[in-house]
Amino acid sequence: MGYAISRQRQRGKVLLTIAVAANLLLLGVFKYSNFFIATANSLAGESLALTDIVLPLGISFYTFTQIAFLVDTSRGIAREYNFVHYLLFVTYFPHLIAGPVLHHKQMMPQFASPAIYKINAHDVAAGLTIFTIGLAKKVLLADSFSAYASPVFAGAEHGVHLHFFAAWIGALAYTIQLYFDFSGYSDMAIGLSLLFGVRLPINFNSPYKADSIIDFWRRWHMTLSQFLKDYLYIPLGGNRHGKLRMYVNLMATMVLGGLWHGANWTFVLWGTLHGFYLLVNHAWRALAKKMGFAAGDGRSMMGGIVTFLAVVVAWVIFRSSSIHAAFSMLGDMLHWPGGYHVDPAAIKLAAVQSREFFAPFDLGVKRFAMLMASAACILWLLPNTQEYMNGGHRLRWTPTRINALLWGLVFALCVTKMASVSEFLYFQF
């Protein structure tokens, strides 16, 4: 289809429309059928039966890769039409489960290069190290925080009143869990691919170090952000038609980006909230520029704290099973013990009640504090994976025997911790 689009200028747009629509139709049928049926039932008071469709593995990711290739072919940007390379690009297994979102200009030239079909000892060593870092993020960190997040969100789903500290523990636990889970998978995919000499794009760049929401989206799920910018935001008009049009385009992009994550109104609300965050951020920067002072220069501690808290609030909506459960939990997070003043007795009681909430799950609040302290050091003090591997930090990787032994021990530790099955969170998307 891409070849036909590139060769037939008169009918190229028609073919492009058909091809993109076909990809979106398949995505819609498999991923959103029950969402639309449930919404129609709710609005019309009907009782249409839900489907038993099983979501194909990785459909959200390879749909985007195909759409990007088709659109760029129509623009004359994509010039590689080797069918074998195209199949390899679309079905390249390391990224299929949870990304990163691949682009043909990054991948197809590599598949055409003879160099990747030869074993490179340095790439193998680096790939194994990155894979182990990702595995450690998942097994040692993400799964540890999952133990605290899951009962809190399950309680909110079933109408359990969560005390202030328990609600915040759950929200923070999921915030950290999601990052280590998703970036851990991305590292594993990058490392596994590097064993074959193929370099995948970076997907995370210390997003919780961001000092603004604009900066956050430059660091979080970077390949998705780039795709939405290139194939949705800019085609809608981007920022070329005034501030109001830019805000509308930005909001539309974020709402659709939220819906891409899953067939639930919570994802739509999450995308809408981040769209609102971005509008406020852009408006604040415009006001700051007009008033003659800098806003969000990458060194603002207050900006970093506000951004992190805003992201935590949004993750509560993202994780919740329903909007009602999300608002219930957010309400508990705002319910400071003692009301509007500091009441030591009320705070102590809330702390005791939070400990009692986690006790049946054999989870200690002190253990959570230790986990958070460890995570904080990793997130805000240590280099991220690419900084460590590429020498962008004093603590950097070199292919030495000591490093091989160190990461071999970490890998062995991870294997001993893999007693139970724990899926990656982004498998469902």
- Cα separation, 317 vs 171, in Å, equals 10
Q: Is 14 exposed, middle or buried (0-12, 13-18, 19+ CB in 10 A)?
A: exposed
Residues 156 and 53 occupy one common structural domain: no
Reading the block at residue 155, the tokens are 């309680």
Q: Is the pTM of this model over 0.85?
A: yes
Residue at 130 is within a domain: yes
Task: Answer whether residue 49 shows pLDDT above 60.
Answer: yes
The residue among 92 and 50 whose pLDDT is bigger is 92
Q: Is the domain of 370 the same as that of 405?
A: yes
pLDDT by residue (tens digit) across 349-391?
778 888 888 887 778 888 999 999 999 999 999 999 999 998 7
Query: Alpha-carbon torsion 106, 60, 206, 141, what sign?
Result: negative
79, 164: one domain: no
Q: How far is CA 194 from the centre of its chain?
A: 22
The first and second tokens of residue 121, run together, are 């000892």
Cβ(174)–Cβ(319) under 8 Å?
yes
Q: For residue 47, tell me if it sits in a domain.
A: yes
How large is the average pLDDT for residues 263-287? 94
Residue 99 is assigned to a structural domain of this protein:
yes
Q: Residue 153: inside a domain, yes or no?
A: yes
CA atoms within 13 A of residue 17's CA, in its CB half-sphere: 5
Domain match, 106 and 159 both: no
> What is the rounded average pLDDT for all residues in the chain?
87
State which of 90, 117, 144 marks the end of a domain.
117
- The answer as to whether 227 is a domain residue is no
Quick one: 42 and 191 in the same domain?
no
- Pair 64, 125 in one domain: no
Sign of CA dihedral 176, 368, 145, 134: positive
End-to-end CA distance of the chain: 26
Write out pLDDT tens, residues 378-427: 999 999 999 999 876 778 899 999 999 999 999 999 999 887 657 677 66
Residues 324 and 418 in one domain: yes
**Beta carbons within 10 angstroms of residue 362's beta carbon:** 8
pLDDT, tens only, 90-117: 888 887 777 688 888 888 888 888 888 8
Residues 6 or more apart whose CB falls under 8 angstroms from that of 184 comprise 133, 134, 135, 136, 137, 138, 141, 142, 424
Whether residue 380 sits in one domain with residue 320: yes
Give the C-alpha separation, 357 to 163, whole Å. Answer: 9
Asked if residue 131 is part of any domain, the answer here is yes
DSSP element (H, E) containing 196: none
Question: What is residue 320's DSSP assignment?
Answer: S
Give the residue from 77, 96, 117 where a domain finishes: 117
Number of domains in the chain: 2
Residues 65 and 166 in one domain: no
Task: Check whether residue 107 and residue 189 sit in a common domain.
Answer: no
What residues have CB less than 8 Å from 283, skipping those under 6 apart? Answer: none
Is position 290 within any domain? no
Of 132, 177, 207, 151, nearest to 414 by C-alpha is 132
Active-site residue (options: 261, 335, 341, 393): 261
More confident residue, 345 or 255: 255
Output the DSSP codes for 339-391: TTS--HHHHHHHHHHHHHHHGGGT--HHHHHHHHHHHHHHHHTS--HHHHHHT
Q: What are the structure tokens assigned to 417, written together?
A: 């911790």
Domain identity same for 318 and 383: yes
Range of the domain at 400: 121-211+298-428
Closest Cα to residue 28, out of 3, 53, 11, 6? 53
Which amino acid makes up residue 185? Y
Is 261 catalytic? The answer is yes
Same-domain check for residues 30 and 179:
no
Last residue of a domain, one of 117, 138, 160: 117
CB 237 within 8 A of CB 131: no
- Within a domain: 34: yes
